Amino acid sequence: MGSSNLTLAGLAKQGELNVELSEPEVTQKLEPWFQDRWENRWSIDITKELTQLFDKSLARKEPLLPYHLSQEARAGISEFSVPKGFKTALLPFQPNAVQVAAHHLHKRGGVIIGDVVGLGKTITAAALAKMFEEDFFMETLIICSKNLVTLWEGYVHQLRAKVMSISAAPHELLEERRYRLLIIDESHKLRNREGQCYRAIAEYIALNDSKVILLTATPYNKTYRDLSNQLRLFIDASANLGITPERYKASIGGRVQFEARHQVKYNTIAAFEQSDCSDDWAELMRLCLVRRTRSFIKNNYALTDEAGRKYLAFENGERSYFPDRVLVKVEYGFNQKDPHDHYAALLKKAAEATIQAAGKKSNQDLLSGRSCLLISQTSQVSAIDDFELVTWPIIKQE
């Protein structure tokens, strides 16, 4: 019997507020007292609500996926509900992506949906836009490549939205009325902040205080600036992110050394742009990226049929099978004497370069006293055997 909170701290650390009563005489006296309060007309039965809370908490019976154990994921799943019109259209793994993305979008003003190709980024973004349309009365402007305009127009009837080609953005966007939500498909094309399209879109977002949904299967291409430039579309360069590039800071001696060297605030995107540490960028992207791989979906959401094949099931019973990757050997011939045979020309160049490299290596080996294979100096390749002869000793020596 006690008065501590029904929490781990209350039950485990506040023992002074509770007492164990095991004597029969005491329990018999307390039973009528407890029953009287249980049946009191002013008491409220919260059994159903408490059960629902437990079902949504970490104390639930069903084990949670590691992906959903993060605080960000749990917050999104508990705070937002998938729009009714999309529930039957989404595959089992997609509703959680919509909910987690909604948390990022609501909290930070933007989100990157970076699922790999073929996992339904388009319908995930459409469901997310519908959610913010219903909850926050937002209309959506969809900016995409010209070849994707028709695809997106197929979703317009479900949303209060307009589709615009990204090539038209520099000329038409600043004349466009205010949309409080933007979907930018293939956002990796906006890696360069100096580009005309980037500047037009960034200016529109800043003027209208729009939230941003970025879609890309390849958010990172050459450098981490590819990521930061996309993030800058909805995160101000001087905004306090609440985190810092810890690994990079530690590598140069700490915060004081960092600020002295770079002259930027240590908890901003500008600070992360100084870091080449993958762990720093992983920590940053955790705040605004939803990304799952095909193997993750297959291992955690797929069902298995009688033949052992993995599939996802729609609510109407239809199955979407994962394709089986089968390696197939493709053989083709080529004619070394045909000047128009591209494969023969490529092989000839490769063989000539290899022979030159082998000759150079042989000379180095002779000077150093190592054993080697002597290759005659030639600029012509007479047969495929020459190429095979030269390639093998190089590979073997390396």
Each residue's pLDDT tens digit, 230-281 = 999 999 988 999 899 999 999 999 888 898 898 888 899 999 999 999 999 9
HEC string of the chain? Answer: CECCCCCHHHHHHCHHHECCCCCHHHHHHHHHHHHHHHCCCCCCCCHHHHHHHHHHCCCCCCCCCHHHHCHHHHHHHHHCCCCHHHHCCCCCCHHHHHHHHHHHHHHHCEEEECCCCCCCHHHHHHHHHHHHHHHHCCCEEEEECHHHHHHHHCCHHHCCEEEEEHHHHHHHHHHCCCCCEEEEECHHHHCCCCCHHHHHHHHHHHHHCCEEEEECCCCCCCCCHHHHHHHCCCCCCCCCCCCCCHHHHHHCCCHHHHHHHHCCCCCCHHHHCCCCCHHHHHHHHCCCEECCCHHHHHHHCCEECCCCCEEEECCCCCEEECCCCCCCCCCCCCCCCCCCCHHHHHHHHHHHHHHHHHHHHHHHHHHHCCCCCCCCCCCCCCCHHHHHHHHHHHHHHC
Task: Kindly report, residue by residue over 21-49, the tens digit of the pLDDT.
Answer: 667 777 777 888 888 887 888 888 888 88
Q: What is the b/e burial string over 324-346, where b = at least 16 CB atoms within 10 angstroms of the residue's CB? A: eeeeeeeeeeeeeeeeeeeebee
| Torsion angle defined by CA atoms of residues 172, 189, 285 and 84, in that order, rounded to the nearest 10 degrees | 60
Q: Identify the weakest region by mean pLDDT among 8-12, 58-62, 286-290, 384-388.
A: 384-388
Q: Mean pLDDT throughout 347-372? A: 65
Q: How far is CA 126 from the centre of its chain?
A: 17
pLDDT band of residue 357 (cuts 50, 70, 90) is confident
Residue 398 has pLDDT above 70, yes or no: no
Q: Where in the chain is the domain with CATH 3.40.50.10810?
A: 66-298
| pLDDT score recorded for residue 78 | 55
Q: Quote the pLDDT of residue 202.
A: 94
Q: Within a 10 A sphere around the Cβ of 275, how many other Cβ atoms?
A: 22
Give Cα separations from 96 to 7, 106, 184, 323 (angstroms): 26, 15, 21, 23
- Taking domain 66-298, whether its CATH number is 3.40.190.10 is answered by no
Q: Is 284 exposed, middle or buried (0-12, 13-18, 19+ CB in 10 A)?
A: buried
* pLDDT, tens digit (0-9, with 9 covering 90-100), for 52-110: 776 666 555 665 555 444 544 445 455 788 888 888 888 888 888 999 999 999 999 99
pTM given for the model:
0.64
Q: What pLDDT was estimated at residue 229?
A: 93
Range with the lowest mean pLDDT among 6-15, 27-36, 192-201, 211-220?
6-15
> Stretch 174-192: mean pLDDT, rounded?
92
